[in-house]
Structure 1
């Protein structure tokens, strides 16, 4: 690896040629659980069925585990019947 890039190998089936392609590694979005601090958004990122491994991490209002946008998603009002 060089300068944050990973090497991908591609094979060409006709001539059996192996080619190395250098592409940048995409930065991870969010922060890991162990890095979360008080006042950071603890909204889990990823798919619903995946265990949460990264969290949003933006600043939160005092006393809330979530930032304003994720608080809107987490605490939806119950519709009246």
Structure 2
């Protein structure tokens, strides 16, 4: 609601509807009605569910015709990139032996081998000195955290820290292998 001087009476709402259908802007309507802001007019228009309207070229106050708005066209299909993107990263060619093989087998880390089930902890049992590596599906009741002793200043145990913090060179190599 607007303050006591600018409440939306039935009379004011009817005036708003008329001015809105005439094509006036929210600022112009606010000035015409008086004692309401442009944002109050916009809010009331939305609450009333008044339809959007097409803008027509109307003569300006000084008698000169208003400029017609530039019409926008539908977005076209994206243009393909002709030249490769240049960066400061050098990508080594894939060795012929790797390129020739159609399927690359990446090592699979099985969390159940890394720690016995008895060391896994729930979020309520997790302490500051315990490994916070998530194990399992978080939506399932069997979800746990590693719980092994973590290294100082690192949230993971030695085993999981090696997985989480790989050197940059290893990550790049792994990405290249995965792309191939």
Distance 2:119 2:148 in 1: 11
Q: How does 1:47-58 map to 2 (within 5 A)?
A: 50-51=137-138, 53-58=143-148
Number of the residue aligned with 1:7: none
Unaligned ranges ≥5, structure 2: 1-116, 174-180
Work out which of the two has the higher radius of gyration on C-alpha atoms and give 1 or 2.
2
* Structure with the bigger percentage of helix: 2
C-alpha distance in 1 between matches for 2:164 and 2:149: 16
State the partner residue of 1:17.
Answer: none
Partner in structure 2 of residue 70 of structure 1: 160
Larger mean Cα displacement after TM superposition, 50-59 or 67-76: 50-59
Q: Give TM-score scaled by structure 1 length.
A: 0.54
* Relative contact order, higher structure (CA 8 A, sep 6+): 1
The counterpart of 1:30, out of the listed 113, 120, 126, is 120
Query: 2:134 aligned with 1:44, yes or no?
Result: yes
* Residue deviations 1:14-67 (CA, integer Å, cap 9, x gap): xxxxxxxxxxxxx66611011100110001112xxx227200101111111000
Greater share of residues in strand: 1
Q: Once the 2 structures are TM-superposed, how far is the Cα of residue 73 of structure 1 from its aligned partner?
A: 0.4
Where structure 1 has 5 or more consecutive residues not aligned to the other structure, the ranges are 1-26
Q: Please report the TM-score for the alignment, with normalisation by the length of structure 2.
A: 0.26
Query: 1:59 is matched with which residue: 145, 149, 154?
Result: 149
Q: Distance in 2 between matches of 1:63 and 1:29?
A: 21
